[in-house]
Chain A
């Protein structure tokens, strides 16, 4: 297993790569992922003032004249706004189009497809705390990756763990916090957040990422609605430090607890 890391989208992307054969080229795999992130960052980053999305924000470019990536991401984000009843939105409070909520997930998903094409035995992508796994061996017990979830009150400690692709077809886990950077979470102005951190495990990274954001923004009502409507497992850390979890979130095996 080879570990790699590189900077992208204002954070760090960590890779775990298992080759299926001796001809496995970790540099090529890392480059494929870095390319996907760089392309999405170029088109959709608001941090990069030269990106297409930044130019749209300044009125220099019409959304309809933007490239496939920007229009595609906006369409996907808008579809999720409808699906979540507005709890997730591609618009900032000031009306500016902000695709941060989907762009990282789209880059992760595209990177995953690239790694699958390279025929890796199994791989894991962790982009700033959002994780997707895959590969030919994933789905077997030996192919699962154990992912720790950080304690929002002490980021040097883990609060829980989840095995991805070990069961239930969980391939992705994404986490959002109410104190998250980037401010793509718009909680109601008069409502203080209930959740300090929400982790959502799902079959794909986009669903996991969008719903984690939507639950942080929408609070308890959103948690109840989305856990019923979508095939997801959720671990929520409330602001008082207590936890809530869906029945499918992994438990300590019976008999192992004191």
Chain B
């Protein structure tokens, strides 16, 4: 009886693993946005570098990005066993305890070329940025200051001669 029970238990575990695999496929890759030639998906190695943002993310958002990576790698692991096409795929929205997460996966030449966070909200449903990418910004949007309200002036290096006409020289003389 004992060997038989063990065999059944192993079979049950295998079923759970396979079910999890299929859930991964269904859960993350649902809506093809663009399509290309038929390819087999190869690797997931690029996911971490593309999504993680160790430098600037605070505890909350970095956990969010981990959630995004988890849901994506689940999808791509599963896709290894099946045939897939090049293109950009939007994942389904996954609720985490930090908020909602959705990722977009770009597959090119049979490998994941890029993973981007499409949507991320915090508890209050505000969008949260996890990327540290620079984006266009209007002059009025950056923090403004009058020369008289700053202590020092940053800029490309000036010569000693140019210093004489600089804002920094004015501040130095005024003792600001």
Contact = CB atoms under 8 A, between A and B. Distances in A.
29 contacts: A1-B175, A12-B160, A126-B154, A131-B152, A131-B154, A145-B151, A146-B145, A147-B151, A152-B155, A155-B155, A156-B165, A158-B146, A158-B150, A158-B167, A160-B144, A161-B143, A162-B154, A175-B154, A177-B156, A182-B157, A227-B132, A228-B132, A243-B138, A245-B137, A247-B131, A249-B137, A251-B142, A252-B142, A252-B144
Contacts of A179: 156
Interface of B: 53-56, 129, 131-147, 149-160, 162-163, 165-169, 171-172, 174-176
Contacts, number: 191
A3 B172 contact: yes
Interface of A, secondary structure class, is: strand
Given A148-B154, A158-B147, A168-B56, A14 B172 contact: yes
Contacts of A181: 157-159
A149 B155 contact: yes
A248 B155 CA distance: 19
Nearest to A185: B156
A135 B107 CA distance: 50
Contact of B163 (A12, A145, A245, A258): A12
B159 A3 contact: no
Given A180-B156, A243-B138, 12 more contacts: A12-B163, A12-B169, A128-B163, A130-B154, A148-B167, A156-B165, A161-B149, A162-B154, A176-B156, A233-B56, A244-B137, A247-B131
Contacts of B163: 11-12, 128
B54 A147 contact: no
B152 A228 contact: no
Interface string A182-195: 10000000000000
A178 B9 CA distance: 68
